[in-house]
Amino acid sequence: AQSVSQHNHHVILSEAASLELGCNYSYGGTVNLFWYVQYPGQHLQLLLKYFSGDPLVKGIKGFEAEFIKSKFSFNLRKPSVQWSDTAEYFCAVTVLGSTSGTYKYIFGTGTRLKVLA
């Protein structure tokens, strides 16, 4: 069965520290990969996405992620975190449906990041 694993459930960092959140997926077909962020009291927002091409993708707010096909990974990075980055981060992969044009997202369980000022 398709799945997404996020190994770090809780991460605590000080401001200016570097961040790397792990994401691994198990799906043998063509994948589209996403990182979403959920700030406290807000809804899921797209941070970045990978469909094809350059495996290093840049998103909003200084985040980037690298797709490594051989490792089935899509890790999220940020060189220097800020207090405002405190949020829950979800990795997701699309799985194509049997009907053309249909798909579903498979989400990881999320990583809660707390940044200390």
Residues engaged in binding other proteins (CB under 8 A):
4, 6, 32, 34, 36, 42-46, 49, 51, 90, 92, 94, 97-99, 101-110
Q: Which residues contact 96 (CB under 8 A, 6 or more apart)?
A: 29, 30, 102, 103
Distances (CA, A) of 44 to 7, 34, 35, 89, 97: 20, 12, 10, 9, 23
Which is nearer to other proteins, 41 or 117 (by Cβ)? 41
Say which residue the tokens 């369980």 belong to. Answer: 109
What is the nearest approach in angstroms of other proteins to the Cβ of residue 111?
10
Is residue 107 within 8 Å of residue 4, measured between CB atoms?
Answer: yes
Q: How far is the CB of 45 from other proteins (least distance, A)?
A: 8
Residue 62 parent element (H or E): none
Nearer to other proteins, 50 or 78 (CB): 50
Our CB check for other proteins shows the closer of 74 and 90 to be 90
State the minimum distance, in angstroms, from the CB of residue 57 to other proteins: 13
